Amino acid sequence: MPVPRFTKKECVKGVQIYRPFVYGSIAKPLDPSNRPAGISPEHTHQWTVFVRGVNDEDISYWLKKVQFKLHETYTNASRMVESAPFEVTETGWGEFEVQMKLYFVPEANEKAQTLWHALKLHPYVGDIEGQKERREAIVSQNYEEVVFSEPVEPFYEILTSGPPVPARGKGAKGSKQASVKKQGERSAEIPFANSEGNPFSVREEGMELDRLREAMKTVEGMVKGERAKLAEKEKVMEKLRKEGGEQLGK
């Protein structure tokens, strides 16, 4: 999803920064014996539409607010969500297209971006009848990336600092985190372990270094072998040169 740029002199030239996120919906059929109070008798489902980070990563350091535009059958169809979690939960009876307008933090100096999501209430893949019977939740979501091309300096700083590091729970003390950070402190460091959707970690980096060291050993062995062969050939050359000289001298 490319973001149109303002021409600004303090842009970081030649740099593109990608930030991934997920948007979509989760819907669940209402339990007739346990319906939320005060809802219309026609409503059959409860649903949530959302914009969130991959693996629920905090994205509020670059995403300021999201405006969700619901179907006109809803009162106050336009819902502005000013802080995370960027989501709207409602009940209803029908599927429709939700418009989501993403507003970036003011430092970004970027225009808002619009996305559309088709709210899904009913199962559409797999064992459809079974899913209906079990009143299973219907999840419909998409991965997306926002591309900030040549971001302005202050926003570049924010993007590369990453989200504030969350407080570490009890027992986390002394864990193999790359370094200890205080709550709310920003960090550009990679996490210790991989997680789903994020293959970049201190552990993975260590493993990659081990693989590189092994490969270096192999290459060094090969170089030694080649050097020995070369020395052998130089000896033969020297011998031939000598013999040639002797022949000429005769």
Handedness of CA 149, 152, 153, 157 (dihedral sign): negative
CB of 144 to ligand SLL, least distance (A): 24
Q: What DSSP element (H or E) covers 158? A: helix 153-161
CB of 75 to ligand SLL, least distance (A): 7
Which lies closer to ligand SLL via its Cβ, residue 6 or residue 93?
A: 93
Using CA atoms, how far apart are residues 19 and 228, in angstroms rounded to an integer?
52
Binding mask 157-186 for ligand SLL (x = CB under 6 A): ------------------------------
Beta strands at 138-149 and 45-52: parallel, antiparallel or unpaired: unpaired
CB of 72 to ligand SLL, least distance (A): 8
CB of 80 to ligand SLL, least distance (A): 19
Which lies closer to ligand SLL via its Cβ, residue 31 or residue 220?
A: 31
Which lies closer to ligand SLL via its Cβ, residue 73 or residue 161?
A: 73
Binding mask 40-79 for ligand SLL (x = CB under 6 A): x------------------------------x-xx-----
CB of 119 to ligand SLL, least distance (A): 8
Structure tokens, 24: 């979509």
CB of 114 to ligand SLL, least distance (A): 20
Using CA atoms, how far apart are residues 122 and 87, in angstroms rounded to an integer?
20
Which lies closer to ligand SLL via its Cβ, residue 40 or residue 179?
A: 40
Q: Which residues of 203-217 are buried (b: 16+ CB within 10 A; e: fewer)?
A: ebeeeeeeeeeeeee
Report yes or no: 23 and 115 within 8 Å, Cβ to Cβ.
Answer: yes
Strand order in the sheet with 16-29: 86-92, 45-52, 16-29, 138-149
# residues contacting ligand SLL (CB under 6 A)? 9
Which lies closer to ligand SLL via its Cβ, residue 4 or residue 32?
A: 32
Which lies closer to ligand SLL via its Cβ, residue 28 or residue 71?
A: 71
Handedness of CA 125, 129, 134, 137 (dihedral sign): positive
Radius of gyration over alpha carbons of the chain, in Å? 30
Which lies closer to ligand SLL via its Cβ, residue 61 or residue 96?
A: 96
CB of 122 to ligand SLL, least distance (A): 10
SS3 87: strand
The residues in 89-118 that bind ligand SLL, with binding defined as CB under 6 A, are 92-96
Q: Which ranges of the chain does DSSP label H, i.e. alpha helix?
A: 128-133, 153-161, 202-249
Residues that bind ligand SLL (CB under 6 A): 40, 71, 73-74, 92-96
